[in-house]
């Protein structure tokens, strides 16, 4: 009976279980940190930042601290949701393949694609849709190679 109770505690939100969800967290945050570090390197004044929320943080706290605070606050919900999922989400194999593929497609476009596009906008003058599509394809390629939602045996 004790196993059926799910009481989310701070550890579920802060410390992901070491499984395929942890790999997904690392992959998602690779793209987020790419955007973060490229912006730190290339941004000389806050007015160069296209994201109005990030710009306001940078104007209020300075570029390094403002950008760091913005990235932490903006991406904390993503980290917490994926960390919680690493402890809670367990689907049967057939549903797992579809659900995790959909999760990867959503993260590919809305997280990795946007951050890749934003990061590369500092040094690559290509259309935004092209940069975002390349970010999405990069994420999906890495997800299928490293996270393996298509694995033959479900071991978690």
Residue 153 — very low, low, confident or very high, per pLDDT cuts 50/70/90?
Answer: very low
pLDDT digits 0-9 by tens, 114-133: 888 889 989 989 998 999 99
Residue 155 lies in a domain: no
Residue 54 lies in a domain: yes
Residue 89 lies in a domain: yes
Residue 149 — very low, low, confident or very high, per pLDDT cuts 50/70/90?
Answer: low
Residue 10 lies in a domain: no
Which pLDDT value is given to residue 152? 46
Residue 7 lies in a domain: no
Distance between CA atoms of 151 and 153, rounded to whole angstroms?
Answer: 6
Q: Are 91 and 99 in contact (CB under 8 A)?
A: yes
Q: Are 83 and 24 in contact (CB under 8 A)?
A: no
Which pLDDT value is given to residue 130? 93
Distance between CA atoms of 152 and 125, rounded to whole angstroms?
Answer: 41
Exposed, middle or buried by CB within 10 Å (0-12, 13-18, 19+), for 92?
exposed
Residue 156 — very low, low, confident or very high, per pLDDT cuts 50/70/90?
Answer: very low
Task: Flag whether pLDDT at 68 surpasses 50.
Answer: yes
The alpha helices in 89-127, defined as continuous H runs, are 93-107, 114-120
pLDDT digits 0-9 by tens, 9-60: 666 566 666 666 778 888 888 999 999 999 999 999 999 998 899 999 999 9
Which pLDDT value is given to residue 45? 94
Distance between CA atoms of 155 and 142, rounded to whole angstroms?
Answer: 20
Domain ranges, residue 21: 17-147
Q: Count how many domains the chain has.
A: 1
Residue 132 lies in a domain: yes
pLDDT digits 0-9 by tens, 76-111: 888 777 776 666 666 666 777 777 788 788 888 888
Cα separation values, 19 from 25, 45, 56, 89, Å: 10, 40, 37, 11
Residue 87 lies in a domain: yes
Name the DSSP class of 150.
T
Residue 22 lies in a domain: yes
């Amino acid at each position: 009976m004790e196993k059926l109770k799910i009481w989310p505690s701070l550890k579920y939100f802060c410390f992901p279980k070491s499984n395929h969800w942890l790999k997904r967290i690392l992959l998602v945050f690779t793209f987020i940190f790419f955007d973060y570090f490229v912006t730190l390197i290339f941004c000389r004044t806050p007015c160069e930042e296209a994201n109005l929320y990030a710009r306001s943080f940078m104007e209020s706290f300075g570029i390094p601290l403002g950008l760091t605070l913005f990235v932490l606050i903006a991406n904390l919900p993503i980290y917490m949701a994926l960390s919680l999922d690493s402890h809670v989400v367990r689907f049967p194999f057939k549903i797992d393949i579809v659900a995790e593929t959909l999760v990867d497609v959503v993260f590919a476009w809305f997280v990795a694609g946007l951050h890749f596009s934003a990061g590369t906008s500092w040094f690559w003058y290509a259309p935004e849709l092209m940069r975002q599509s390349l970010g999405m394809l990069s994420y999906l390629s890495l997800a299928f190679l490293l996270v393996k939602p298509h694995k033959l045996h479900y071991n978690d």
